Amino acid sequence: MRRLDPQRFAGQVGGCQVGLYTLRSPQIEASWCNHGARLLQLIVPDREGRLRDVVLGHDSLAQLQGGMASMGAFIGRFANRIAQARYRRGGELHALPANDGPHCLHGGPQGSRHQVFEVLACDSQRLSLGWTFADDGFAGQVQLQVHHRLDGAALILEYSATVSAAATPLNFTSHPFFNLDGDVSPSALGHELQIDAEHFVPIGPDRIPLGHFEPVAGTAFDFRQMRPVSQALAQGHAQLRLGPVLGYDHAFVTASAGGLRRQARLRSPLSGIVMEVWSDAPGLQLFSSAAMDGSLPRHAGKHGRVHGSGAGLCLEPQHLPDAPNQPLWGPCIYEPGQTVRGQFQYRFSVDDSGEPRGSVA
């Protein structure tokens, strides 16, 4: 397990200073780049006490700029897709910038994953980053602050976003790609997954919701009990065949009301590392990185790794996709003067059951 070199991230993008920032607790260690507020390294002990880097990422600023724009990034002002890059409110049609065919994805081409965040504070306890959304194709301005801290074996992200000038849709998420085996295994599909949800959101070939929920019971989307992701994929489902490779890119309905709660649990039989995802968001997006195909530079990883299909799993707390066009999904448009707050937690532990396998450099 090799730590990232801060000197390889020192530079400027668009006249803004870029760097690597690291927090440590007695149990875990995490590093971010302020370009996209990206989580690039997360070091966690396995069942034998050996350290593993459990997120995919980049090992230089140059590699980051040529790689997947979402990898490790904090996503806004509206995570996921808005159909046809538009929505109607109060009889008025609001056009948005399209960057995913005719649709708006992850805030469009000027979303936060493409921006250099201001470093508001950084010490041994906390990293605070800020970005103001303006002139990005959406109405209104939004002042965003994202606060990162470690609490024992938990990584905690708290955000606040204050709206001014005009009403705007908001939906934020954190987008790490997790592989709890570190660099020992090229795939995370053998991980065991539990998602605390009774329903998921079916989508069309363009990844836009069909407008209703479907029960997970008895299907390949049934993760109410822990089971390997590979086993669920093998069960088959028409919703898994929307691309050339079987995979998930779907929202699960985890709650109808706010409040911090567990949404998912992920476990690696190989390393024994267990991660729980907690948040106050109403949904959780599962992305199994099916389309990653090893093409360069897009799928280059740290220290010479090249990522193929299933290399990492994304568990993204957020509002449900296309919420501005789906009135049954709940409110997602906020007025000037309103402040939206949220929290994501990744809690780590070790399951001692099973035989340890593999080695860590």
Residues identified as active-site: 175, 316
Contacts for 123 with CB less than 8 Å, ≥ 6 apart: none
Beta strands 86-89 and 81-82 are unpaired
How far apart are alpha carbons 1 and 226 in whole angstroms?
28
DSSP 128: E
Beta strands 261-267 and 273-279 are antiparallel
How far apart are alpha carbons 176 and 156 in whole angstroms?
13
How far apart are alpha carbons 92 and 107 in whole angstroms?
20
Nearest-10 Cα torsion for 235, 240, 245, 248? -100
347: nearest Cα among 284, 278, 285, 263: 278
Contacts for 299 with CB less than 8 Å, ≥ 6 apart: 67, 68, 292, 293, 306, 307, 308, 311
The 10 Å Cβ neighbour count of residue 251 is 27
Nearest-10 Cα torsion for 10, 12, 13, 15? 160
CB-based contact 284:244 (threshold 8 Å): no
CB-based contact 167:140 (threshold 8 Å): yes
Measure CA 272 to chain center: 22
The one-letter amino acid at 294: G
Residues linked to residue 182 through DSSP beta bridges, in sequence order: none
Tokens representing residue 307 in the block: 């990522």
Beta strands 227-228 and 273-279 are unpaired
DSSP 176: P
Q: Which helix (H) or strand (E) holds 252?
A: strand 249-253
